[in-house]
């Protein structure tokens, strides 16, 4: 007789304890490549759980802010070492809950490793300034101060990398954290909290509250006692987060949508450009904010590029990410799959030519997951919806352009401004593109994905609100300046009034 498998049950992490939600309810975390596999049950939290987490973080902040930054760094170093040792297990878990191939989830964990090491290094580099005073016998300097309790809301596509981008700089600056991971991928954040605790992080410094955006996320960003909010997700939700923070002037970091482009010039290495377009368009099943869902190709090489690109897209192996031969995994859930299918229909109705893919995959093992073919539309125009709107799936719109100037105009002609790329052997064009493309990131002869943790990450226009993640730029968001004046003249001195 078959024995029922008892699902793994996970809890919130509040004030150093693993706790059930006040609601007593839970939600399922299932493998998007195999819906029969239940990864675990996670708590459906409420505002009461958020209150407990914020209170714990506020209390922990009183002592954590006084821990010297190099000592905070030692905890991060230990966490990084554990991440290295457990990389493969963490990647396997991530593939089960998120779906992308193991090669990609190993990269996701590696980003968390890199970010943790990098921010640990910043523990001895939280530099201020010393500067001459305009007055005699007076000393002037600046120091960085932590903000307090930082609320974080993270997406499902990079379940460990993005939480690490937020948590590690916040911690090294002396802040405490309450994080709400995406409901589709809570396990990776759970693991990250476990590892930080094992590394010696004091209770209450990091708190994890699972649940829905409308209930947990909204409660968190509105909660009194939260000093700053960092959100990564859609532009529509980011706008709501921004509006919620505005009445109390709460610092708010937003990392939102993208409609990124590869520009292929007539002197490009076409083989390299095709490989870049495949990786940028279909890596992570197109579910990246930096995915290149637009390709603008010089008319002289348009047909050559399309022929090669379509052939590569059709040859991609789609399947379970745990299979070593899989090149593209599933969509994250049924709603995302439906969105992709809707945009395929939109592209058809707009008159674009469906050159590859376009179908929901349902045969055999595909029937247990949310799989869609790698899809290429050709003959697109810049104003088509499939060339303007973020799809967040394996759909790429290819369009011809007459020259470099038109390519740049097309590239800048969307509401987003995250990442762009140009393939060319002309150094002058490359530098013109780096200057004129209105995006936060520009690549030359490389795809639109591949950010490195020691450099700023973020975009312009409706992609963000000016703040950046990663690198030393992250320190700017998670700390604030304090200017200090020390007068040892033993008399009243009045700035700007002393001769």
Query: Catalytic residue numbers?
Result: 255, 289
Beta bridge partners of 417: 460
* Rounded CA separation 329/156 (Å): 14
Give me the DSSP letters along 160-216.
THHHHHHHHHHHHTT-EEEEE--TT--HHHHHHHHHHHHTTPPTTSEEE--S-IIII
* Rounded CA separation 64/59 (Å): 9
| Residue 95, C-beta contacts closer than 8 angstroms, at least 6 positions apart | 101, 102, 105, 321, 322, 329
Instruction: Pinpoint the alpha helices (H) of 283-426.
Output: 302-315, 334-350, 404-412
Closest CA to 331 of 295, 374, 290: 374
Total Cβ atoms within 10 A of residue 483: 11
Burial 193-215, CB ≥16 within 10 A → b, else e: bbbbbebebeebbbbbbbbebeb
* Own/partner long-range contacts of 212-217 (Cβ < 8 Å, ≥24 apart): 212/44, 212/183, 213/153, 213/180, 213/183, 213/237, 215/44, 215/45, 215/46, 215/47, 216/45, 216/46, 216/47, 216/49, 216/50, 216/180, 217/153, 217/180
Element of type H or E holding 82: helix 69-85
Six-digit token string for 300:
């002289």
């Amino acid at each position: 007789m078959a024995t029922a498998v008892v699902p793994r049950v996970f809890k919130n992490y509040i004030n150093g304890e693993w706790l059930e939600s006040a609601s007593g309810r839970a939600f399922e975390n299932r493998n998007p490549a195999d819906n029969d596999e239940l990864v675990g049950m996670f708590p459906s939290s409420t505002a009461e759980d958020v209150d407990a987490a914020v209170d714990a973080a506020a209390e922990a902040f009183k002592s954590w802010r006084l821990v010297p930054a190099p000592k905070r760094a030692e905890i991060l170093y230990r966490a990084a070492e554990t991440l290295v040792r457990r990389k493969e297990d963490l990647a396997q878990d991530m593939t089960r809950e998120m779906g992308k191939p193991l090669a990609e989830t190993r990269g996701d964990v590696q980003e968390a490793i890199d970010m943790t090491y990098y921010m640990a290094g910043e523990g001895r580099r939280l530099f201020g300034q010393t500067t001459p005073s305009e007055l005699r016998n007076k000393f002037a300097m600046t120091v960085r101060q932590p903000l307090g309790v930082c609320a974080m809301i993270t997406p499902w596509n990079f379940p460990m990398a993005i939480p690490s981008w937020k948590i590690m700089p916040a911690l090294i600056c002396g802040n405490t954290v309450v994080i709400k991971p995406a409901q589709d991928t809570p396990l990776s954040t759970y693991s990250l909290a476990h590892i930080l605790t094992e590394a010696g992080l004091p209770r209450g410094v990091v708190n994890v509250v699972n649940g829905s955006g409308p209930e947990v996320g909204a409660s968190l960003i509105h909660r009194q006692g939260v000093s700053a909010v960092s959100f990564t997700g859609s532009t529509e939700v980011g706008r709501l987060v921004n509006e919620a923070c505005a009445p109390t002037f709460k610092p708010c970091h937003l990392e939102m949508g993208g409609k990124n482009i590869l520009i292929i010039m007539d002197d490009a290495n076409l083989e390299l450009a095709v490989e870049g377009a495949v990786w940028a368009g279909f890596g992570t099943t197109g579910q990246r904010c930096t995915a290149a869902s637009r390709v603008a190709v010089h008319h002289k090489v348009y047909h050559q590029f399309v022929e090669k690109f379509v052939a590569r897209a059709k040859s991609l192996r789609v399947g379970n990410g745990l299979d070593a031969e899989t090149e593209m995994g599933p969509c994250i859930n049924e709603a995302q799959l439906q969105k992709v299918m809707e945009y395929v229909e939109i592209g058809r109705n707009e008159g674009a030519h469906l050159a590859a893919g376009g179908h929901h995959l349902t045969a055999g093992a595909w029937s247990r997951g949310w799989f869609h073919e790698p899809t290429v539309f050709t003959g697109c125009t810049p104003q088509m919806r499939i060339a303007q709107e973020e799809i967040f799936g394996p759909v790429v719109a290819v369009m011809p352009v007459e020259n470099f100037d038109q390519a740049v105009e097309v590239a800048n002609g969307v509401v987003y401004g995250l990442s762009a790329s140009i393939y060319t052997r002309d150094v002058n064009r490359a530098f013109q593109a780096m200057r004129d493309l209105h995006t936060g990131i520009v690549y030359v002869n490389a795809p639109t994905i591949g950010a490195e943790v020691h450099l700023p990450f973020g975009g312009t226009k409706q992609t963000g609100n000016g703040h950046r993640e990663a690198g030393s730029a992250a320190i700017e968001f998670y700390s604030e300046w304090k200017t200090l004046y020390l007068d040892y003249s033993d008399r009243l001195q009045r700035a700007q009034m002393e001769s």
